[in-house]
Structure 1
Amino acid sequence: MKNTFGFVEFQTEHYFKVVVDRVVTFHECYIQHNFIEDTEELIEEEKAVLTIKQWELIKPVVQYIFNSQLKEEGKRTSRFVKGDNYLSKLYGKQLLVLVWAIELTDKQLDIKNAVLNWKGFSREEQWWLFTMINAASGKSKDRFGWRAGIKEVLLYNPTNKGGANNGKLKK
């Protein structure tokens, strides 16, 4: 598979899927084991939806950051394409923190601020934020708790940290 970020087919029971179509949907996928009935079921939960416009504003930066991380790990780089794109659970968690922050805005400046602030967090901080947000309000239509808070943190607090170059997004 060419359109994967750290995802190894048949070696993972927990991953994320980004579906790029008329809108962009983000899904968390995992195998649920029922040990009593000795069955397994693939669960796919929709976590968020973005417009193509929103997606196109964040995609180049996300792709660049993920490919840099993959190179550091000695893994093959990738790109997002139309259709299904697969991410390892850690890359999916990182991405959803940003997606949740921008899902209700289409203002380019707000999205740019969110990307700059998101880049200022370490991967471990992004994973932790995902865990907190997902536990309380991780479903696609949820708009409360930590999920509302991440919008405040990323959208409305511009910073020069995390690779900002005088307010310009770097690829």
Structure 2
Amino acid sequence: MAQAKVAASTESSKARAQVPHTLGFGVPATSDPHHFKVIIPKSSTGKVQISEHLGLQATSGDSAVIDRVLLDRSRWTAIRAEVQRAFNARLAAHSLKPGAWKVGDNSVDRLLGKELCVLAWAVEQMDAEKIPVAVRNWLALRPEERWWLFGMTAMSTGGLMDAGKGWRTALKHALGDVAQSELLAPRARRSDRGQDESRPSLDLFGDETT
């Protein structure tokens, strides 16, 4: 009996040792990794800043940090809970510990950070009543679709001063317009016919896989 307990304890220790140590929302606890930071001020009216930290990938010290977006506190409050839930579900699927938003610096995995920027860019100038629609549409996107949207937006309008320009405006309309959610209906109907549509999207890539 004692040997069985020792063996079980050993296996449990091994399992814990195999789980990668992470910070915040899935950021590897390594030297200067590429990740994002969400800075939440103590003031209840202070704006929330999202910045990309390139880490060892930076070509120079001047380009090591890219400030991506500033969100009014009310807009951040409107998205934070659903974003946390979605991110933690993804982390749990990879046996990584969950994260939680807190005042101060919040580290976010580089891919999750890109996805967060897409939603933040969409809601930064959006009417408050449309934000829940934008969140639902964002949740319906596949991760690959969010990464593609980040890449397209970041190339030309990915800085703090680019609100209301180009792709930023496109994201606002694509995610915030109620009509956009109608794109989910065809997938739901196909699912009723027996097809596997457990990962609904807004059909940005049709039925292609990436």
TM-score, normalised by the number of residues in structure 1: 0.83
Map of 2:142 onto structure 1: 122
Pair 1:28 & 2:52 matched: yes
Alignment of 1:1-150 (within 5 A): 4-11=24-31, 13-21=33-41, 22-31=46-55, 32-33=58-59, 43-107=64-128, 109-142=129-162, 143-150=164-171
Confirm or deny: 8 A CA contact 1:3 1:79 kept in the other structure.
Answer: no
Report deviation, 1:87.
Answer: 0.6
Write 1 or 2 for the structure with the bigger share of strand: 1
In the aligned structure 2, how far is the partner of 1:15 from the partner of 1:42?
14
Return closer, same or farther for 1:9/1:2 CA change in 2, 3 Å cut-off.
closer
- Which segments of structure 1 move beyond 3 Å, counting only runs of 4 or more? 160-163
Write 1 or 2 for the structure with the bigger share of helix: 2
In the aligned structure 1, how far is the partner of 2:62 from the partner of 2:157?
23
Q: Which runs of 5+ in 1 are unaligned?
A: 35-39, 164-171
Confirm or deny: 8 A CA contact 2:121 2:172 kept in the other structure.
Answer: yes
Q: Could you say which structure has the larger radius of gyration?
A: 2
Give the root-mean-square deviation of aligned CA atoms: 2.2
The residue type paired with residue 71 of structure 1 is A
Corresponding pairs, count = 157
TM-score, normalised by the number of residues in structure 2: 0.68
The residue type paired with residue 151 of structure 1 is K
Confirm or deny: 8 A CA contact 2:119 2:138 kept in the other structure.
Answer: yes
Q: Which stretch of the first structure deviates more once superposed, 71-80 or 2-11? A: 2-11
Report deviation, 1:17.
Answer: 0.3
In the aligned structure 1, how far is the partner of 2:23 from the partner of 2:77?
16
Report deviation, 1:144.
Answer: 1.7
In the aligned structure 1, how far is the partner of 2:121 from the partner of 2:62?
27
Q: Secondary structure at the match of 2:160?
A: coil
Report deviation, 1:146.
Answer: 1.4
The residue type paired with residue 91 of structure 1 is L
